[in-house]
Amino acid sequence: MLPSLTHEEILRYSRHLLIPEVGIEGQQKLKAASVLVIGTGGLGSPVLLYLAAAGVGHIGLVDYDKVEASNLQRQIIHGTDRLEALKVDSARSRMLELNPYVQVDTYNEPFTSSNAMQIAADYDVIVDGTDNFATRYLSNDLCVLLGKPNVYGSVYRFDGQASVFDARHGPCYRCLFPEPPPPYLVPSCAEGGVFGVLPGVIGTIQATEAIKLILGIGSPLIGRLLLYDALNMSFEYVKLKKNPKCKVCGEQPEVTGLIDYFEFCGVPGIGHEQDTVEGKEITAVELAKRLKSGQPLYLLDVREPHELAISSLPGAVNLPLGQLAGRMSELDPAREIVIFCKSGIRSARALEILLSAGFRNVRHLQGGINAWARTIDPKMPIY
């Protein structure tokens, strides 16, 4: 039996009630529904705001991060007054300001194979608002095993994707991407950047699909991958087919339980986001001492050229990570090389490339140039 609507709710949702495809019964379905949103960042922000505004009765938030200044360019559910607050608390507060008639449960913890089943079990729809492949494969496999729809979204620079993966009626994420890309081949938004309004477009599409699924109206993006190009303002669709040999939703599935998705994707687990090579790091303090003493060091900046306008270290040579493998002949293996990037992620990958090529006298700057700005040069901007 569907829950009734109070007079206050009827007034609040009146513009929904006027739509024949929604009406009183549809609004009651929204009130009875539950949606779990994984991630309260760029994609999660519009998803959560619109689900709350629409009157989805029970919404769960999973995240374990805090609000940072660099989030605010796109994560519109948070504000300057909530810097350093837990993202789930910040998001919940804003959602209840928008609509106090919904229930918002928070899970301030990483979403992993050990807790995903327990967290997601009681929700009707799962919305994936994450920005890493390990969690995308986890949410996909989870939804296949639990028989739930997975509302997918992805953003990078000016490009976005959206789909609904529901193995009961069409393909799953693994049907499209059986294996993850090589580690660090695809930079994260933190390393490659994202156009501020882009997550708003894709996240709003995800919210639309979730609400349509609850109401049972329209044609969801099952079996279709929406591709959005913000620069050209173009929308395209790619038809997707179910892979009968899919390892999780195929005719003879090999994946019958949740696995270690960080190992599967070849990336560090929670708490080890910056891939490091033991004994091959140098801190900003150590590097400053070395430079002050006049010891000869070759500073290798593997950031993109346009990042040099934000911050730079004197005397550093810029060689973007994507060009490193083809330009190693420009480097002298006999010299002591210190590699740096923005935060240490790309420099760790560059370190691996050089070590595998026979370089031995090479290290990378822990925390990147942002760590230098925090501990050595407070006049340098952090980005």
Three-class DSSP labels, 18-77: CCCCCHHHHHHHHHHCEEEEECCCCCHHHHHHHHHHHCCCEEEEEECCECCHHHCCCCCC
- Give the residue range(s) of CATH 3.40.250.10 domains in the chain: 275-375
Q: Which two tokens stand for residue 36?
A: 């779990």
Calpha distance 211→84 (Å, rounded): 31
CATH architecture of 33-264: 3-Layer(aba) Sandwich (3.40)
Tokens representing 37 are 């949103």
Residue with tokens 């393909």: 171
Cα dihedral 149→63→201→209 (10° resolution): 20
Contact 255, 271 (CB under 8 A): no
User: Which tokens in the block code for residue 347?
Assistant: 């420099």
Instruction: State the DSSP code for 4.
Output: P
Q: Of the listed 143, 175, 189, 265, which one is catalytic?
A: 189
Residue 273: what pLDDT?
Answer: 43
Nearest Cα neighbor of 44 from 160, 154, 174, 180 is: 154
175 in catalytic set: no
How many CA atoms, within 13 angstroms, populate the side-chain half-sphere of residue 256? Answer: 4
Per-residue pLDDT of the chain (383 residues; tens, 9 = 90+): 999 999 999 999 999 999 999 999 999 999 999 999 999 999 999 999 999 999 999 999 999 999 999 999 999 999 999 999 999 999 999 999 999 999 999 999 999 999 999 999 999 999 999 999 999 999 999 999 999 999 999 999 999 999 999 999 999 999 999 999 887 667 778 778 899 999 999 999 999 999 999 999 999 999 999 999 999 999 999 999 999 999 999 999 999 999 999 999 987 666 544 444 667 999 999 999 999 998 889 999 999 999 999 999 999 999 999 999 899 999 999 999 999 999 999 999 999 999 989 999 999 999 999 999 999 999 999 99
Q: Is 189 one of the catalytic residues? A: yes
- For residue 276, the model assigns a pLDDT of 46
Q: What is the pTM of this model?
A: 0.84
- Reported as type and span, the H/E element at residue 163 is strand 159-165
Interatomic CA distance for residues 15 and 272, integer angstroms: 47
d(CA 173, CA 180): 11
- pLDDT for 278 equals 65
pLDDT at position 271, please? 54
CATH number of 275-375: 3.40.250.10
According to CATH, where is 3.40.50.720 located in the chain?
33-264
Distance from chain centroid for Cα 37: 12
